[in-house]
C-alpha cells in the first residue's frame, strides 16, 4: 500500500480552502484521507487540528468571496470588551451585503446586511468588520450596559508606553456617524441609548458598570481619570470622582492584588487623603449586589463633604 503523503506544513495546522490545497499539489483523493475533515463547501481542516478562532475565521473569509467576519466573531478577534457569556465564544459569524445571496454554511451564523464604504477592512489575512461597525452589529445581542462598556473601551485613550498605540480605537463622533448611516438596523435604538452614556476615561468594564450604577442611583455624573493635581503629569489620579466634593473612587481589579501594585495603590490613596479627600475603594466583590453597598459609601462621603463645607463656611463667617 502506498503511504499517504503528509500535509504540507502551511496546511497541517490550520483550516484551508480547496484552492489552497490545489495550489499545494493535493488532489481530490488526498482530501478524502482520514487525516483531513471536510468542514463545509470548499473548506477543510486537519483532523487533529486544535480549534483556533482566528485561524477558522481566516479560512472562512478566504473561502467566501464577498463576505466578511462579523458580529460575535469580529468582536472577539478585535479583543472587544464582552460579557462573560460571550468572552470565550467559538461562534463563527459571517456577513454578506444584501445584494448577494446569504452565507449558508454548516455551523456558520450567516447575516445579510447593508454595509457602507469603510465599514469592512482586511486585517491579518481576512475581511472583517471594523471595530465601530462591529459595535453597532452587537447592539442586537448585547444588553445596554454591555454596549456602553464595549464603546467605552473603543473610545478610551490608550497608554502608549503600555499598549503600543497612541490613538483610541474609535471616537464618539465615529460611533454616532455609524448609527446615523444605519437608522433601520436591528438594535440601533439600543445603540443610540448606549452612545448617550459613553464617556472617555473608563479603563475597564467594571468601571463603566459602577458609573452606570451611580447614575441609576441618582448620583451626578462623575469625572473620570480625575487627577489630584490638574496639569501635573506625575499626579496620582482616581478612576472616578467628584473634585468639588473631594471624593475619589478607585476600582481595584485583579491585578491590584499584586504586591507591587498594592504598594502603588496605597501611595496613591495616601496622596488623596493627605490633600483632604475621601477615598473609596471598590472591587469585584462589590458587583455582587450591583454596587449597592459601594454607592451608599459614596453618597455618605459626598454628604459629609457638604456638611464639612457648611461647618467651614460657618467658622469663616464668625471670624
State residue 222's pLDDT score: 96
Alpha carbon distance 237, 254 (integer Å): 19
pLDDT digits (tens, 9 = 90+) for 150-173: 999 999 999 888 888 999 999 999
State residue 28's pLDDT score: 80
State residue 315's pLDDT score: 38
**Lowest mean per-residue pLDDT among 82-96, 177-191, 249-263:** 249-263
State residue 161's pLDDT score: 86
Q: Which of 140, 122, 120 is nearest to 130 (CA)?
A: 120
Alpha carbon distance 53, 169 (integer Å): 22
Structure pTM?
0.85
pLDDT grade for 314, boundaries at 50, 70 and 90: very low
Q: Has residue 310 got a pLDDT over 50? A: no
Q: Has residue 280 got a pLDDT over 70? A: yes
Decide which of 3.30.1490.20, 3.90.420.10, 3.40.960.10, 3.90.1150.10 is the CATH code for 205-318.
Answer: 3.40.960.10
Q: What is the rounded (10 degree) CA torsion for 204, 147, 196, 223?
A: -10
Burial of 24 (0-12, 13-18, 19+ CB in 10 A): middle
pLDDT digits (tens, 9 = 90+) for 204-213: 999 999 999 9
Domain ranges within the chain, ordered by starting residue: 9-50, 54-195, 205-318
Amino acid at each position: 500500500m502506498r503511504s499517504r503523503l503528509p500535509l504540507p506544513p502551511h496546511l497541517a495546522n490550520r483550516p484551508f480552502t480547496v484552492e489552497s490545497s490545489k495550489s499545494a499539489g493535493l488532489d481530490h483523493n488526498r482530501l478524502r484521507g482520514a487525516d483531513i475533515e471536510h468542514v463545509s463547501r470548499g473548506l477543510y481542516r486537519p483532523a487533529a487540528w486544535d480549534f483556533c478562532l482566528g485561524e477558522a475565521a481566516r479560512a472562512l473569509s478566504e473561502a467566501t468571496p464577498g463576505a466578511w467576519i462579523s458580529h460575535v466573531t469580529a468582536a472577539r478577534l478585535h479583543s472587544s470588551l464582552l460579557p462573560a457569556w460571550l468572552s470565550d465564544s467559538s461562534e463563527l459569524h459571517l456577513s454578506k451585503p444584501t445584494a448577494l445571496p446569504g452565507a449558508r454554511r454548516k455551523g456558520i451564523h450567516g447575516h445579510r446586511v447593508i454595509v457602507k464604504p469603510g465599514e469592512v477592512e482586511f486585517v491579518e489575512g481576512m475581511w472583517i468588520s471594523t471595530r465601530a461597525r462591529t459595535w453597532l452589529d452587537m447592539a442586537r445581542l448585547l444588553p445596554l450596559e454591555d454596549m456602553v462598556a464595549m464603546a467605552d473601551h473603543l473610545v478610551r485613550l490608550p497608554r502608549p508606553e503600555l499598549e503600543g498605540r497612541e490613538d483610541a480605537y474609535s471616537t464618539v463622533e465615529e460611533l454616532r456617524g455609524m448609527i446615523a448611516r444605519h437608522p433601520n438596523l436591528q438594535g440601533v435604538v439600543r445603540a443610540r441609548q448606549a452612545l448617550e452614556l459613553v464617556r472617555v476615561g473608563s479603563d475597564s468594564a467594571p468601571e463603566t458598570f459602577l458609573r452606570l450604577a451611580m447614575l441609576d442611583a441618582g448620583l451626578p455624573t462623575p469625572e473620570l481619570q480625575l487627577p489630584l493635581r490638574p496639569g501635573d503629569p506625575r499626579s496620582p489620579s482616581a478612576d472616578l470622582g467628584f473634585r468639588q466634593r473631594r471624593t475619589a473612587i478607585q476600582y481595584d481589579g485583579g491585578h491590584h492584588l499584586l504586591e507591587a501594585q498594592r504598594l502603588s495603590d496605597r501611595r496613591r490613596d495616601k496622596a488623596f487623603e493627605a490633600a483632604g479627600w475621601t477615598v473609596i475603594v471598590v472591587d469585584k466583590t462589590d458587583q455582587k449586589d450591583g454596587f449597592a453597598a459601594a454607592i451608599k459609601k459614596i453618597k455618605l462621603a459626598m454628604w459629609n463633604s457638604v456638611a464639612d463645607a457648611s461647618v467651614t463656611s460657618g467658622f469663616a463667617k464668625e471670624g
